Structure 1
Amino acid sequence: MFQPPDPVRFQEILDDIVDRMRFETERGAAASYIPELADVSLNRCGIAVAPLGGPVLSSGDSAVPFSIQSISKIFSLVLALGHVGAALWQRVGREPSGDPFNSIVQLEFERGKPRNPFINPGAIVVSDIITLKSREAAENHPVLQLCQDLADDHTIYVNENVFQSEVATGDRNRALAYFMLAEGNIECDVRQVTESYFRQCSIEMSCQQLALATRFLAAGGNDKGASRFGVTPERARRINSLMMTCGCYDASGEVAFRVGLPCKSGVGGGIVAIVPGIASLAAWSPGLDEKGNSVLALRAIEELTRRLGWSVF
């Protein structure tokens, strides 16, 4: 069993990694197709670690909120599984896609059943389930509430400017939803479902908040906040396995090779990683590679896991 170093040494490692990231010249590019994300400084970089039973350790811009985007799909999956359990898999698959996260090609070939819940069409089906079951008002979005509860921080919020930007540029996601509606895999109003999806993607959290909110996965589901939403040890293992195989889109295999941990990325530049039985990690830097994953956040997590010997393999 791998163990964390003592807190002082741990902090030194985090500070050293962030300092090194500041000198990296290859930083990627911001997600320009969402206008509100296009102007975030590529010089931002933060990392946070939430060990089980210990305080959060962090460095750099770890307290700066950013748009979590597809990292929100972890939390929406928790809610959907809590609502319908294994019946979810009749509507969404559990296989890596091998295609970009917003591709319609595979969706058409497979008659409207998305490959997994972490690509956009899969997350839209998940949002359809949440919309059907919750009927919550927008200001009480259930994914936002879950993030707040798991992080024990009710300052977490939806960035309304990002949300409006998502709505204004979301035609491709609406097209995915309408295609699935035509195939009988969407039950609610497409506008309502996609706007719920856009709103969850527009949640803003810091690395520190994300590390805390995902710590239940490192704890194997043994968390009072998560258990209220139906998370069991078995369900936590399933979510971790999906993160490992599908969490970083069509680069999931490469990330598993480099990091060796369940990870989930978002085009806001964040990446979370789970060290089962030890800790949850969150890193952020806005510059993305061609697959939509943060260049520096992935590099920071890779460096941390290498130095600490953290891997599930």
Structure 2
Amino acid sequence: MNYKEILEQIQTEIHTQVNTGKVATYIPELAKIDAEKFGMNLYCINSGHYQFGDYSERFSIQSISKVFGLTLAMCIVEDNELFKRVDVEPSGDPFNSLVQLEYENGIPRNPFINAGALVVSDILISALDKPKQEFLDFIREIADEPTIDINPSVFESEKKFSHRNAALLNLMKSFGNINNPIEEVLDFYIFQCAVEMSCKELSTAFMIYANQGKKLITEKEILPSNKIKRINAIMQTCGFYDEAGEFTFRVGLPGKSGVGGGITAVHPGQYTVTVWSPPLNPKGNSELGMYALERLTTLTGLSIF
């Protein structure tokens, strides 16, 4: 597959697209990001990295971090313990919805909506000695990059506007599904969202989901392949808020988006790919990012279907 040629065509097409998306403003620090930024990196199992644009510039990964949180939890907690506290069903509702949670007695629909990621954060706090450090160390390990860190300005900005997430935590605590202090769980959750990575670093980190749970260069196993299969399945059905069906229809790959404008997707056994374009569509997903990934699977003629 000539990925170099395909990415060059996508780069040409991106310049002709009218972008009607809006940069996220509910976190003030994210509103400062240049809307014209665009980066793309594809990491092929057999032939390495292909990229263009702002692929090496770090940005706030936001909800993409939920995949790493779930993966770390599945490394240290038995599945039956984890999935009795958070379900694996698509939500069909906005990522920060309280309504569904009330109806379903404080059990979040899946780990990739805010409520589900907050439960995973609570589980990690109970299981780890130093949750923040161990979470960062985990990402640095799978991305092969020891300098990955959080953006302190984004962390502080997000913390000032986290009332709805605090409401989700309070509601779940009332149902007995949060064990640690609410402020502690909220702080750790926001810390995860504030991690900054580049397209290339995200594609490298996500290689474990394309390579049966192993790092590509060393073949070191991070997670057994049967658990990776489950994470990929949840990404396919739940990775794009209430637009997961649309992403599956248009792109046909498991993946995860974040309101920082990033999307990382996986073609198991083939490649990982990350795009970054800050303007979001009304569902909270990168508008040009979705277009680029749709073109990728169209031009290659391959998706998981």
TM norm structure 1: 0.94
TM norm structure 2: 0.96
2-structure distance, mates of 1:310, 1:82: 31
Aligned to 1:281: 273
Aligned to 1:55: 48
2-structure distance, mates of 1:289, 1:84: 35
1:60-102 CA-to-partner distances (Å, cap 9, x unmatched) read: 1111111000000110001111221211110000100000000
In structure 1, list runs of 5 or more residues that go unmatched.
none
Choose 165-174 or 215-224, whichever is displaced more: 215-224
* Contact 1:150/1:225, CA 8 A, preserved across alignment: no
Alignment root-mean-square deviation, CA: 1.3
Q: Check if 1:35 corresponds to 2:21.
A: no
- Percent identity between matched residues is 44
What's the offset of the Cα at 1:293? 0.3
In structure 2, list runs of 5 or more residues that go unmatched.
none
What's the offset of the Cα at 1:242? 0.3
- Aligned positions, number: 302
In structure 2, the residue corresponding to 1:121 is in which secondary structure? helix
Q: How does 1:61-72 map to 2 (within 5 A)?
A: 61-72=54-65
Q: Check if 1:166 corresponds to 2:161.
A: no
2-structure distance, mates of 1:92, 1:64: 34
In structure 1, the residue corresponding to 2:93 is in which secondary structure? coil
2-structure distance, mates of 1:226, 1:107: 38
1-structure distance, mates of 2:219, 2:172: 33
Aligned to 2:12: 19
2-structure distance, mates of 1:51, 1:27: 31
Q: Check if 1:209 corresponds to 2:201.
A: yes
* Contact 2:243/2:283, CA 8 A, preserved across alignment: yes
Q: How does 1:218-233 map to 2 (within 5 A)?
A: 218-223=210-215, 227-228=221-222, 231-233=223-225
Q: How does 1:1-313 map to 2 (within 5 A)?
A: 5=1, 9-86=2-79, 87-136=81-130, 138=132, 140=133, 142-223=134-215, 227-228=221-222, 231-313=223-305
1:112-170 CA-to-partner distances (Å, cap 9, x unmatched) read: 000000000000000001111113164x2x22221111010012110000000110000
Which letter maps to 1:304?
L
2-structure distance, mates of 1:52, 1:283: 18
- C-alpha distance 149-22 of structure 1, shift in aligned 2 (>3 A): same
What's the offset of the Cα at 1:53? 4.1
Runs of 4+, deviation exceeding 4 Å: none
* Contact 2:124/2:131, CA 8 A, preserved across alignment: no
* Contact 2:41/2:49, CA 8 A, preserved across alignment: yes
- C-alpha distance 247-112 of structure 1, shift in aligned 2 (>3 A): same
2-structure distance, mates of 1:266, 1:149: 21
In structure 2, the residue corresponding to 1:281 is in which secondary structure? strand
2-structure distance, mates of 1:149, 1:171: 32
What's the offset of the Cα at 1:294? 0.2
What's the offset of the Cα at 1:243? 0.3
In structure 2, the residue corresponding to 1:227 is in which secondary structure? coil
